[in-house]
């Protein structure tokens, strides 16, 4: 039973447009959420995070939105660039001192078309 779900295995977006990656979770105890980005043959790298006390966190072109009532978060990339083509993982935890058990989604492969 997957507690963190990324229902779109892949997403194709035109360069310059907005990319929206979605993530749903089932565990109401999750209160910290993260997005990681992964290029082929590399390890994941941290992108952005959000605490459940917020509903939005922004870092440059990347914004994460959290809808606690819907148990849904999304990552917006504006504008999308070719270097954004990667696999994006959503992850969640029951707090920063939760025995470090991040629960990960299966990932969404983002393809930015020139």
Partner 1 sequence: DAGITQSPRYKITETGRQVTLMCHQTWSHSYMFWYRQDLGHGLRLIYYSAAADITDKGEVPDGYVVSRSKTENFPLTLESATRSQTSVYFCASSELGLTNTGELFFGEGSRLTVL
97 binds partner 1 (CB under 8 A): yes
Structure tokens at 104: 């990960």
Q: Which of 12, 45, 67, 81 binds partner 1 (CB under 8 A)?
A: 45
Q: Which of 25, 30, 88, 89 binds partner 1 (CB under 8 A)?
A: 89
Closest alpha carbon to 62 in 110, 106, 7, 95:
110
Structure tokens at 66: 């959290």
Count residues near partner 1 (CB under 8 A): 25
Stretch that binds partner 1, among 14-22, 63-71, 73-81, 85-93 (CB under 8 A): 85-93
Rg, C-alpha atoms of the chain: 13
Minimum separation from the CB atom of position 78 to partner 1 (A): 21
Residues of this chain that bind partner 1 (CB under 8 A): 4, 6, 32, 34, 41-46, 49, 89, 91, 93, 96-102, 104-107
């Amino acid at each position: 039973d997957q507690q963190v779900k990324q229902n779109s295995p892949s997403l194709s977006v035109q360069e310059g447009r907005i990319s929206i990656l979605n993530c749903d979770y089932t565990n109401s105890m999750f209160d910290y959420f993260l997005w990681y980005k992964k290029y082929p043959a590399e390890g994941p790298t941290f992108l952005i995070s959000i605490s459940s006390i917020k509903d939005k966190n922004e870092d440059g072109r990347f914004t994460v939105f959290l809808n606690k009532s819907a148990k849904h978060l999304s990552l917006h990339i504006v504008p999308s660039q070719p270097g954004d083509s990667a696999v994006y993982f959503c992850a969640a935890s029951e707090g920063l001192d939760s025995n470090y058990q991040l629960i990960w989604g299966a990932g969404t492969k983002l393809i930015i078309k020139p």
